[in-house]
Structure 1
Amino acid sequence: MKFNLSSNSCKSIIATTFLLLFTSSNYAQVIEIQRISSNESDLYFMHKIRKSETLFSIARTYGVNLPELTNYNSDIATKLITESHEIRIPIEAHSILEDSIPGASPVYYKIKPKDNLFSLSHRVFKKSENLLAKLNSGNTSNMHPGNFLKIGYFKFNVPAESVLAKEVHPQENSERIEESPIHLIPNAAYSRGIAYVERNRLGEGRYFALHATAPIESSIAITNPVNMRTIYAKVIGRLPPIYEAGTQVVVSSSVARYLGIPDNRFYAVITYQQRK
């Protein structure tokens, strides 16, 4: 018996499934795969940023690394992102499962003009035509633009109590460095990338930082692009070689708390003074 996957009926199925999944899990959802037109093998889906998420927690949840995430989202590098901002999540075709497992979400693709089963099967999703037929109840002939084709399933990597992190507030008695507008930093330079939190050796209640080039005793602005919080920290030393390549700054735990960072590393935007 064939299943008629009309656009309206499939949208209804996806919406209903989404509601059922969303009520049972923070991250269970129906995934609609999209592809970049210039390269049909570059697949992605959209994620709406939620309260207290960081780019690192999002990357960890979906099993991607930070460079991949930033490559697919050029606006991360040009503007601050906020709650409800949508970003692209890259996904590899081989990570789409053929069979459903507990906690996995169904993956669909919205058919576009000029799509055909052979191209989608062999060039884009690397799935056999027989498998796609099985996933779609035997009906793969209704390849009209706007219809949905089920591709498989995707399992999120959800670490316990860390993906949707608790909101963190700065301590009331923490010492604060007086904030000044970013443009008051003389000879300012900007960088974006990995920031680490040193919770033991930079002093509790102090807004301190280690940086590779900013003058010692100068203040640098550190911004969490997810919630747009910015704090100024005092540079007290250089980055030690124990941190991974590409690390931009190491901050004290008080800086992390102010920025709402629950993890030991995060993605940050840094404004600092260049050495003359």
Structure 2
Amino acid sequence: MWWLVDGQQPKSHITGKTMKKHFLTLTCWVLLSLSAQATGDSLQYLTPKDTVFLQVDEMGNKVFLHHLEKGQTLYSMARFYGLKIETIFAFNPNINAAGPIPQGLSVKVPIPNPAVVKCRDSLHAREHYAPVMYVVKRGDTFYHIAKTCFGVPLDTLYKRNHLSSFIVHEGQCLFIGWLSTAGIADSLQIGNSLGVPTHSLSFIFQTEKAAGTMYSQNGAAYWQREKKGATDFYALHRTAPVGSVIQITNPMKRKVAYAKVIGKIPDRAYGDDVIVVLSPSIAKLLGAKDPRFFVEVQYFR
């Protein structure tokens, strides 16, 4: 059990800035490797014995890896963290929804900032919370982590981690706060970059059912695999009305996504077999690996 509170954290007696940097990084990755076991147990999805290591993904979401314990399922785990199962699949395109889910599977879970308790005085009972650490990434600054990422006072984060300077290093772990072992309210999860568009576009698609006739297509989808970091949820389509929302299904992965049509597919720009051009975010939600893959499309007009 590794339980961190203000004023308690392993300290290094190694002198020298270079040695200290390597020690902090090594310590963090050792702890990360130790945490790469089951999260929680057969009765709870998170216990005070667990440590939540947050990292920032390419879309700016704070995420951590939950390692499925025996008796845990993706569906009940999603509910515990206030998520819909579709969002779990969105964050984990490598998971095949149609296949078996092995014990010990590492599942990427978004953690909203309001769910992290930053003030020790706000804890109702410490035995009901797990410590939350943040893994510093390249380009991070102490100010950015404290103020922008988590909204923690600079002096609080400084003292909590027994720092000797405001310089942080890639791979270093910072003790941020605590996460309730009772789970996360779904009202807090609407803020992640996949949750908002997935929820809103799905809602729009359902409302469009009453306004028009449904059309279905099968064919190839195309996306620019080399384009990274984009978080837009859009598509180009030949006949769906511009501004409408279409539903795209990858039958091989059994994954569904929604996209807003922002224009027509340009003539002669793609082959006739391409029925939809997708943004990278949509393609990743659908588990696409190749620039072209088979999809089913539904839309209303």
TM-score band w.r.t. shorter chain: 0.3 to 0.5
More helix by share: 2
TM-score by length of 2: 0.43
TM-score (norm 1): 0.47
